[in-house]
Amino acid sequence: MTTTHPLVEFDEQISLPPLPPINARFFVPRFVEKPQDPIMDTLRLNASNPSSDSRFRLDKIPKELSLIPGQKIGPKSPLSEEYVWQNALKLDTRGRSSEIHSWDSLRSNAPISASFSGFLSEQDGIMFAAAHYQALPRLQDAHSVVQYLTIPNLLKNMKLTVLGFSSLLYEWDPVEERFIDIGLSRGNMRKRLVIEGKDEVISSDFISRFIQIGESLRRLETLVEQLRSRHVALNKPTLFHLTISSSIRSNIGPTMHAFAHALSTCLVQIRGSLASGPPSEDQLYASHSTLNSIFMYYNQHEGVLSALSRLCNRQGEGLSPKDYEAIPSSPQALLSLIHDHLHFHIESQSPHHINATLAFILTRTSTEYLKDVSRSVGFGSSERLLGDSSFSREYPTFFPKELLDALPVAQRSLKLLRVAQPDHPILKGSTRLSNIQWFWTSEDILAAVNGSEETTTENLAPIKTADQSSTIAYLPALAEFHIFDFEPGSLNGRSCFDTVYTSGPTLALDNFIKSFPSSFPPIAPTLAHLTSLVLKPLLLHATALSTTLLSLFLALPPPLDIHSHLRLIRSYMLLMSPSFRRRLSAALFSDSGNFDADAESSRAFSLGSLRHGTQRADLRRKTWAVGLAPALLDRATWPPMDTDLSFFLRTVILDSYEVNANDEARRDRVEEIENRLGFAVRHISTGHTNAWANPLHVEALDFLYMEYKPPQPLDVVITPDILSKYQRIFSFLLRILRVQHALHAVLRMSTSASPYVFGTLASSRKMLLHFRFIAQSFVANLVEYVYDTAIAGNLDPFLARLEEVDSGTTHARYSDVFSLAEAHSGVMDDILTACLLRSGQRIAGGALRDSLELVLDFTVLVGDLYRGRIEEYQAASVLENLYIQFRNNMSNLFEVLSGTVEKNASLRTSLEVPHSTGVQDTHKAVGGVEALSHLLIRLDFGEFWFHASNRHR
């Protein structure tokens, strides 16, 4: 199957005759076995083909010679059309310096005029157009119509087009929002306009500027009209309505109205400039050089309208209304869009007129939004909606990061400060401050840098009229009221539609453009620096508001003292109070080695002994949960949920607080502590197996937690999230305390003479004692590390920093009360990290949990052996397996901790030389990951596990 080349198909479609063949002017003969002489070969070729030397072919005479302007060639002229070129070739050119002929030199009757240039392109426009037409003939197109225009006809129609009106050449299509050729709207026909004396390319470029300006002006005016309409989607929907109704129909706020008004002001000013611009009546019959000045006059208008069209997503070649991108409906997105366009043009060194126009739109559009932002933090001269909590937390992208961080904090601080102290001076003084507004002149920028609150835009401007000899000062918002100062009858014959009254907005725009600087001063060289300077008063007020609330918060009276509440939580929820820890251990744990005796004694003092006496018969035959108080194991179910547990735990809190109370003031707070601090039981889900369902597990007491209810002001610092972290640490402390009491019970059982544990198996007895020693060392070091390093090393410096209110250093550490809450949460995160309780520490935390579980299994095994529930030969193999598992697990834990410390050079340094200088900063927290080096030292001070891990490898 053969295929036809695409170029051949294209030639057949346009029906052009084939081009004449081009003969080669040289040839390469076949190589022969002799030297070649190209010079002689060329001479022989010329001698054999003499016609090839002719530079011109007389049979190809151009037929367009009649287009040459000037006097017509007479019929008796010897140089007729068909012989002019032939005679030119036959002329004797000997003795002439050039053989180049121009058209005017070939005619003897052509007018001879002096030329200022020898280039054809610099001749008269008509001469150049004819030459251009001869050199590049126009292709014949059946779907286009060529229309030649004179300069007066062109300028009259372009004047209407540039104003957005229909003319004799183009008419406005409201559906497609573009100008179309008159009379050629049907089919595929199009009109090609050619200016007299210009070629088609130059004519198209000249006319396209006028069409572009007119289309942009009409599109933007249509946009303003639709933005001002409150019922866009309900009134005669068009393609344009479909594109913007979904975005602005539901959110036409003051910012969008301000944008529409500012855009309308710019368009009115541009339309007025276009209407008063050229061409005038005298320029309608101007020369071609005047066309260039007219063309350049509209250059700045095209630049401004092009920038506004790009801002409104109305710029594009062949763009139709269905392709328009929606204008952002939210004030934040709209202001960000305007600011980004202004920043682009400033950085691109765009003309002054474009930068000033965009700056004017940004200034007018952002006025109400900046007032709303100021009101949300209680700043500004207006009392309306001050501190509105429903204000959006989203802000424009040009807001500095410091302000973005300070505004949400200041809004919450304002809400709390008004509840805590409504008559605070900062709440009253902020209303006297001026509103946030943009300023652009060098004088205003320097005034803002120097701390002056007055700018030229706020000065009282005296209003002078022709009918008044005096001047009266008015605020800008009241300037229109000067009309009532005229004498009665002085305005007879005048209308409110006169220019003196209707040109106010455009005059403001003109003044703004004139005062807009060509470049910013060195103190604020970029738009980002200027933005920070404009918003600086708002940032200072937000920071002052947050600092004021922090000072007031830290100076609360004793019932709401933050220090006492945090120390109370530290004493109880973190078991840092020795008396509370001792009483809680007595209520929940037991280190006795005689389970039967403890069970009988607990039964005698149990409140439910009479109700549950029949359920205790099988208690001695069950496995002993070593380390737990017998009172908790009194019933046959676990976890215990009777009144005995509630009674014991309630008395633990009150009794331990009374022991710590040394004065009457603290005794008066017993009732408040009782209402805010207490024990609670987690919800037990049905059908789900929880870890605390078995008393033999190390998580047996995880069902129990402490609950604290902070007072109303303090819930900002003591949040539910922070309390949940306290509860996680509390559950971890109960685990290690239970294992510690279980080991104490093993110590008593292993040293008892009757019965003597592993009395017949000496090797097992030795392994028992060795296992007990390393387990006791592990748990004891772990308990000391948790209390002294993980908890006290992080929480005590935090509490010490809070007590530095009098020295004033607390404000430097915490900017607001919410940063104080974040610092509190960070301290709890460090404690969780130091205790290997974070979710990202699953490997190390799991190894630590398994080690505690193996130790607890070891104590349960010794308890069963001590009570005679298992024989020694049976317990020996179990003991050996537990010992091997414990050593392997401890080796894994040591490897994980060593790898964590080795990853950080600072941790490795603290491990090698801890406090080598002897000077310790009491206010410097140990940290979370940093504390693991201390744990590594405590667990393997003699490098026992280090060598064990090497042997294990």
944 vs 39: CA distance, rounded Å: 101
632 vs 482: CA distance, rounded Å: 89
How many whole angstroms from its chain centre is CA 498?
A: 49
Unique residue bearing structure tokens 């030459």: 131
Determine the pLDDT at residue 399.
94
931 vs 790: CA distance, rounded Å: 7
10 Å Cβ neighbour count for 97? 6
Determine the pLDDT at residue 72.
41
Determine the pLDDT at residue 841.
87
Nearest to 817 by CA among 570, 540, 556, 427: 556
357 vs 342: CA distance, rounded Å: 9
560 vs 569: CA distance, rounded Å: 14
DSSP 607-633: TTTTTSGGGGTTGGGSPP-TTB-TTTT
Provide the 8-state DSSP code for 317: T
The two tokens of residue 444 are: 């205003």
571 vs 579: CA distance, rounded Å: 9
From start to end of 150-197, where are the E strands?
170-173, 178-181, 190-195
Hey, which residues does 228 pair with through a beta bridge? none
Peptide bond into 75 cis (omega under 30): no
The two tokens of residue 81 are: 């059309």
DSSP 137-155: PPPP-TTEEEEEE-HHHHH
How many residues would you count in the chain? 953
* 365 and 334 Cβ atoms separated by less than 8 Å: yes
3-state secondary structure of 731: helix
Determine the pLDDT at residue 244.
45
- Name the CA dihedral angle for 575, 581, 583, 586, rounded to a multiple of 10 degrees: 120
**Measured CA distances, 483 to 205, 299, 470, 500 (Å):** 50, 39, 13, 12
* 191 and 199 Cβ atoms separated by less than 8 Å: no
Say which amino acid occupies 571.
S
3-state secondary structure of 135: helix
* 426 and 561 Cβ atoms separated by less than 8 Å: no
Angle between helices 578-588 and 720-751 (to 10 degrees): 60
Pairing relationship of beta strands 472-474 and 677-681 according to DSSP bridges: unpaired
Q: SS3 for 653-706, per residue?
A: HHHHHHHHCCCHHHHCCHHHHHHHEEEEECCCCCCCCCHHHCCCCCCCCCCEEE
Nearest to 305 by CA among 209, 228, 229: 209
Unique residue bearing structure tokens 């790009």: 310
* 921 and 860 Cβ atoms separated by less than 8 Å: no
Which class for 462: exposed (0-12), middle (13-18), buried (19 or more C-beta within 10 A)?
A: exposed
* 619 and 647 Cβ atoms separated by less than 8 Å: no
End-to-end CA distance of the chain: 75
588 vs 584: CA distance, rounded Å: 6
Hey, which residues does 146 pair with through a beta bridge? 192
- Long-range CB pairs of 317-322, under 8 A, 24+ apart, other chains included: 320/176, 320/177, 320/178, 320/239, 321/175, 321/176, 321/177, 321/238, 321/239, 321/240, 321/243, 322/239, 322/242, 322/243
Mean pLDDT in consecutive groups of 10 residues from the start of the chain, 953 residues? 52 67 73 72 69 46 43 44 58 52 53 63 70 71 80 88 90 88 68 81 88 92 84 43 43 84 93 86 66 87 93 83 87 94 94 94 93 86 50 84 90 84 73 77 90 51 43 69 73 56 74 92 92 92 87 79 87 89 88 65 47 47 79 75 69 69 59 79 64 83 88 86 93 93 89 81 90 92 93 91 63 78 92 91 90 92 86 89 91 86 63 44 76 86 62 52
How many whole angstroms from its chain centre is CA 330?
A: 16
Unique residue bearing structure tokens 């009241």: 478
Nearest to 279 by CA among 467, 152, 381: 152
Hey, which residues does 680 pair with through a beta bridge? 705
